[in-house]
Structure 1
Amino acid sequence: MSMPMIRERRGLVPELFNWLDMPLAALQSPAAQPIKFEDYVKDDRYVLRAELPGIDPDKDVDITLSNGLLTIHAERRDEQRDQQRTEFRYGSFTRSITLPSDVDENDVKASYDKGVLEVSVKLADTKQQEKHIQIESTPRQES
């Protein structure tokens, strides 16, 4: 299935037409979006950064690592009040990622700063010496 093409429209309500072009897009809340990840390797560690603004990392985040699968579960409970109205934003988010095969699951660190959760896992020392493989020859059978 291909992604629908968004056509540019000019007029009073172009965004409404863009929503109609994408099935169910108007029904999705911003809270329904998955956790956004970025990952990279730095100083012999696999680093995963996740956008999690507006959460309390001590109460609202659970990180698990099992058999090479890192799972982040977060729950947002946010209330904004002003003189005329109150707005709640809440929801729970879960996302898993398969880690590289050479990570050391016993050396995992996590930190949270300014809405970004960072999890790093040490990469195991995988420097192996080159191994030469001997080719066995099989005797030819003559017919």
Structure 2
Amino acid sequence: MPKSSFAGALTTPRVDVGIDTGNDFLNHTVDGFLKIGAVAATRAVAEDTYNIVKGGNFSRHHLEHALKKMCKEGAYWGTVAGVYVGMEYGVEKVRGTKDWKNAMIGGAFTGALVSAVGKNKRDKVVMDALTGGAIAAAAEFLSYRS
């Protein structure tokens, strides 16, 4: 029986926004903020669009709600990402090496900071720090996969 196969490569476009503040730490932080903030804003718009289409009614109120949610989500997740990227970069510079431990420490600091700003109790802050460190280290390990 004859077989056929498909050989080729599928590539995605690379989008890079370069903002030079004159400071590497700030450059990394702003880059993280913009990239993840844009992803979060896009997710919020997609979710609201789905809900509007599903509900079958579109109004100015729905549009205003979607825009507010988009800005709020983008700012929140962009800030979290900016803090994480800045922390990881700072730890890398302090330690003088680039490895998974920087991601773990940066994730732990970010988890603790975001939790503390949310006025959580000490046990919750510690748990969020552990979770942030674990997620960041896992993401770093996954990025090494080929």
> What range is the shorter-chain TM-score in?
under 0.3
Considering fraction of residues, name the structure with more helix. Answer: 2
More strand by share: 1
Greater Rg over alpha carbons, structure: 1
What is the TM-score with the length of structure 1 in the denominator?
A: 0.22
